[in-house]
């Protein structure tokens, strides 16, 4: 029997299924009850925390509202029309009648203002003697009474004393707390009070006390927080006042002016129907924790009902003077758990019967054809792709059998297609003239096509290098190739061969990283041609500069009358010739600079450079040209502009080219250089009032041999140059690690801007200016 059970798959499915079903249903029923209880308790705890936060926020908001209203009362100005003096003037003059007229409107309005909850308003002199004491009648919204004068406590440290001596803390000179005061019914009440001094000509002439009955405040909070029990406790955990209990009887009254503070809360002794805070709970409240506002929870039985209590410090003016507790009945949690028992039992029974019956049926249907399907699958797994399942039942197993046969057919077709595509890709890669290197995600070399082996000097039968870094490739030094080629891709050398390498990341459609592919192209011939072109241009330019320099020298001597006095017409011709020689010299110099950049013969030395020093070396020539064209030249460099990381000669060439461009295209108006700090860079703007640059020309203005048309401005082709100045600017700025761009508006002017890194780490905040608008 035991052997039969172990050998039959039907029993192997049914018996564990039955045991598992019983365990799952039992565990599920217990889990549902447990999770429901936890969920109900969590909801209850969240509700308690929310109520506690609401009460804390209400205390803070009430304190701020009382303080704002008290400030309005103290700052009230006099009204000559209604013969009402200012509060401060009436206090200074001890004008009690005038003081009552000044305070009565505020008290009347405060009683009707929900946010203030004004129940008591007292004005007292410098001795603590009340001058005006107005108190709302119990249960009235508009009626109030005037109480007889009394002496407020002025012992050191009391709220009244701190106000009268003009004491200030880190919050201000106004104070708040819970104070015990007599009421019109000759019984004591706790008031939530805010006290402030009254100044007259810089001296304290008295104080003002704004009070709100604590019982009314707690009852209002209790209604907002689902009729919870709200209790105020002393610092030693004794209950002082609760929203559900009676006020103290006459024989339980506290001393007049008693203030609930940290130092004397333990002196209070009242008996109310709410339990005190337990010692262990009190220790938890006093123990510092991660939260800025510690809290603790406890349970207690009040009037025969189970309550959950939440405690938190009572903080007034950032000082904890006691504790405030919130109690809510636990009937909600208990009822939720009890109500779940019967439904869970019924559901569990139904699940056991249903799952057991379904399991028997499924096991019976699965066990018959499953062995045939398993046998077929094993044959296919061993490589017999011609094997097919013969199961043809009209259920899930039959569908699985059909899908298995279909899948096998698809695998046969896919296998053949993959082999064909792999052969095709291999043939393509093998025939490509460029070298191809394929690396895996870990950087290991997976493939080298024959062209790559030939370019790298590797034999066809040699082993693949383990990693890409081990390939015989050496980066070509900057400017050893062509400027145009340098910008397109990285250049490498292997022997006498120059290779341009481009790379790309290989990813699947789903974004999975497979590695990288590198393409190597032989550009040795292009580099040689480019070097020959650069050498030719440089040689021609140097050869032309020598005779032109001689011609300029001769023309200068003629203008100085070395060869004899010149007529007016002769002098004009010599001046014109001299100017053209200067222009040609400028063009040749630009060509030589471009050739030097391409050949790498212009060394760069990055060091701290001050813009003002560079401009000083250019100002004489710039001022002369600007004066000749009647153009205003403005230089705006802040005196505390930090130095830049730049090459001084590079920067001088850049600025000279920008000013030359501006002077060439500006006929009237001004040219202005502005400098400021932008983030961690120094920004330099050269703004002109020229004709502007057309939109289609702006995108390629920094390319070589691109220049403005000059149409309509009277600028000849010779005056416009050959379009190398701005190309020189861009290449020199980028070599210094900067950036250059242009903002232009047709008919208004252009602003050429460059940025170079500051050499100072800490920048002045005064230099963090925004980009100036186009003028």
Res 646: pLDDT: 95
Q: If you average pLDDT over residues 348-357, what whole number do you get? A: 77
Query: Any idea which architecture 432-522 has in CATH?
Result: 2-Layer Sandwich (3.30)
Q: Per mean pLDDT, which of 133-137, 352-356, 607-611 is the most reliable? A: 607-611
What residues are paired with 567 via a beta bridge? Answer: none
Q: If you average pLDDT over residues 715-727, what whole number do you get? A: 67
User: With 90 as the cut, is the pLDDT of residue 5 above it?
Assistant: no
Q: Which of 462, 456, 332 is nearest to 48 (CA)?
A: 332
pLDDT in tens, 493-539: 887 788 888 888 888 888 888 888 888 888 877 777 767 766 666 67
User: With 50 as the cut, is the pLDDT of residue 728 above it?
Assistant: yes
Q: Which of 729, 619, 728 is nearest to 684 (CA)?
A: 729
Q: Which of 694, 690, 721 is nearest to 707 (CA)?
A: 721
Neighbours of 580 (CB within 10 A): 15
Q: If you average pLDDT over residues 639-650, what whole number do you get? A: 93
Structure tokens given for 337: 């758990």
User: With 90 as the cut, is the pLDDT of residue 581 above it?
Assistant: no
Give residue limits of the domains in the chain: 53-331, 432-522, 523-602, 605-767
Res 267: pLDDT: 34
Q: What is the largest CA-CA distance in the chain?
A: 139
Q: In whole angstroms, give the CA distance from residue 165 to residue 176.
A: 16
Q: Which are the contacts of 462, defined by CB distance < 8 A and separation ≥ 6?
A: 453
Q: If you average pLDDT over residues 473-487, what whole number do you get? A: 57
Neighbours of 552 (CB within 10 A): 17
* HSE-CB of 733 using CA atoms within 13 angstroms: 25
- Whether 270 and 278 have beta carbons less than 8 Å apart is answered as no
> Is the fold of 432-522 the same as that of 605-767?
no
User: With 70 as the cut, is the pLDDT of residue 321 above it?
Assistant: yes
| pLDDT confidence bin for 610, thresholds 50/70/90 | very high
pLDDT in tens, 230-250: 888 887 888 877 776 554 444
Domain covering 523-602 assigned CATH 1.10.287.130 in the classification: yes
pLDDT > 70: what percent of the chain?
Answer: 80
Q: If you average pLDDT over residues 190-216, what whole number do you get? A: 89
pLDDT in tens, 674-717: 999 998 999 999 999 999 888 888 888 888 878 766 554 545 54
Q: 75-79, 322-326, 716-720 — which is least confidently predicted?
A: 716-720
In CATH, the number for domain 605-767 is 3.30.565.10
Structure tokens given for 163: 């106000």
- Terminal Cα-to-Cα distance of the chain (whole angstroms): 102
Q: In whole angstroms, give the CA distance from residue 568 to residue 139.
A: 112
Q: Per mean pLDDT, which of 159-168, 540-549, 710-719 is the most reliable? A: 159-168
pLDDT in tens, 256-305: 444 444 333 333 334 456 788 888 888 888 776 656 667 788 888 877 77
Q: 458-462, 603-607, 666-670, 681-685 — which is least confidently predicted?
A: 458-462
Res 528: pLDDT: 76
Overall fold of domain 53-331: Beta-Lactamase (3.30.450)
User: With 50 as the cut, is the pLDDT of residue 221 above it?
Assistant: yes
User: With 60 as the cut, is the pLDDT of residue 455 above it?
Assistant: yes
pLDDT > 90: what percent of the chain?
Answer: 17
User: With 50 as the cut, is the pLDDT of residue 433 above it?
Assistant: yes
């Amino acid at each position: 029997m035991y052997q039969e059970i172990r050998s039959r798959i039907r029993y192997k499915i049914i018996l564990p299924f039955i045991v598992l079903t019983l365990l799952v249903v039992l565990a599920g029923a217990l889990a549902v009850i447990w999770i429901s209880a936890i969920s109900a308790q969590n909801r209850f705890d969240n509700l308690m925390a929310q109520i506690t936060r609401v009460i804390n926020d209400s205390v803070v908001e009430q304190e701020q509202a009382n303080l704002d209203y008290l400030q309005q009362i103290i700052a009230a100005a006099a009204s000559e029309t209604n013969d009402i003096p200012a509060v401060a003037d009436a206090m200074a003059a001890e004008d009690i009648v005038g003081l009552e007229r000044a305070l009565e409107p505020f008290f009347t309005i405060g009683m009707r203002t929900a946010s203030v909850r004004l129940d008591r308003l007292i004005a007292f002199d410098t001795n603590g003697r009340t001058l005006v004491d107005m108190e709302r009648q119990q249960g009235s919204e508009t009626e109030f009474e005037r109480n007889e004068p009394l002496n407020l406590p002025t012992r050191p440290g009391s709220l009244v004393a701190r106000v009268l001596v003009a004491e200030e803390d880190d919050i201000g000179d106004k104070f708040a707390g819970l104070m015990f005061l007599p009421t019109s019914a000759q019984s004591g009440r706790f008031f939530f009070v805010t006290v402030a001094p009254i100044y007259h000509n810089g001296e304290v002439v008295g104080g003002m006390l704004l009070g709100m009955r604590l019982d009314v405040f707690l009852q209002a909070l209790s209604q907002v927080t689902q009729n919870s029990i709200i209790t105020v406790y002393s610092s030693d955990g004794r209950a002082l006042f609760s929203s559900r209990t009676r006020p103290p009887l006459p024989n339980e009254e506290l001393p007049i002016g008693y203030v609930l503070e940290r130092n004397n809360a333990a002196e209070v002794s009242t008996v109310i129907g709410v339990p005190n805070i337990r010692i262990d709970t009190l220790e938890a409240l006093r123990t510092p924790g991660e939260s800025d506002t510690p809290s603790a929870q406890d349970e207690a039985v009040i009037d025969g009902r189970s309550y959950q209590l939440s405690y938190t410090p009572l903080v007034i003016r950032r000082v904890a003077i006691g504790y405030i507790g919130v109690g809510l009945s636990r009937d909600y949690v208990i009822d939720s758990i009890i109500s779940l028992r019967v439904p869970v039992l019924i559901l569990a029974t139904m699940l056991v019967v249903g799952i057991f019956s379904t399991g028997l049926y499924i096991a019976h249907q699965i066990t018959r054809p499953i062995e045939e399907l398993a046998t077929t699958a094993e044959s296919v797994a061993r490589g017999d792709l011609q094997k097919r399942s013969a199961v043809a039942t009209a259920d899930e197993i039959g569908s699985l059998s059909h899908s298995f046969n279909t899948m096998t057919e698809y695998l046969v077709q896919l296998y053949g297609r993959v082999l064909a595509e792999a052969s095709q890709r291999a043939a393509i890669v093998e025939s490509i003239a460029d070298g191809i290197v394929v690396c895996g995600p870990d950087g290991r070399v997976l493939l080298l096509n024959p062209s790559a082996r030939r370019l790298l000097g590797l034999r066809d039968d040699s082993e693949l290098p383990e990693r890409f870094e081990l390939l015989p490739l050496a980066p070509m030094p900057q400017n050893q190739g062509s400027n145009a080629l340098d910008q397109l891709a990285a250049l490498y050398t292997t022997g006498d061969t120059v290779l341009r390498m481009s790379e790309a990341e290989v990813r699947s459609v789903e974004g999975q990283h497979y590695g990288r592919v590198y393409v190597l192209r032989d550009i040795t011939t292009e580099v040689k041609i480019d070097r020959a072109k650069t050498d030719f241009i440089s040689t021609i330019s140097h050869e032309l500069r020598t005779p032109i320099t001689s011609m300029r020298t001769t023309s200068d001597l003629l203008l100085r009358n070395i060869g004899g006095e010149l007529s007016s017409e002769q002098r004009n011709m010599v001046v014109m010739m001299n100017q053209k020689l200067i222009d040609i010299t400028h063009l040749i110099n630009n060509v030589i600079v471009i050739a030097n950049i391409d050949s790498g013969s212009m060394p760069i030395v990055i060091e701290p450079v001050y813009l003002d020093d560079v401009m000083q070396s250019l100002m004489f020539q710039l001022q002369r040209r600007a004066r000749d064209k009647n153009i205003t030249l403005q230089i705006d460099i802040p005196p505390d502009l930090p130095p830049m990381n730049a090459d001084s000669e590079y920067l001088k060439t850049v600025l000279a080219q920008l000013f030359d461009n501006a002077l060439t295209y500006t006929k009237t108006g001004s040219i202005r250089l502005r400098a400021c700090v932008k983030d961690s860079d120094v920004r330099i703007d050269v703004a002109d009032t020229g004709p502007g640059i057309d939109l289609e020309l702006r995108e390629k203005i920094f390319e070589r041999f691109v220049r403005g048309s000059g149409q309509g401005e009277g600028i000849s082709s010779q005056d416009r140059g050959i379009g190398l100045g701005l190309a020189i600017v861009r290449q020199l700025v980028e070599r210094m690690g900067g950036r250059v761009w242009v903002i232009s508006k047709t008919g208004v002017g252009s602003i050429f801007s460059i940025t170079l890194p500051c050499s100072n780490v800490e920048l002045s905040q005064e230099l963090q200016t925004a980009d100036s608008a186009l003028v």
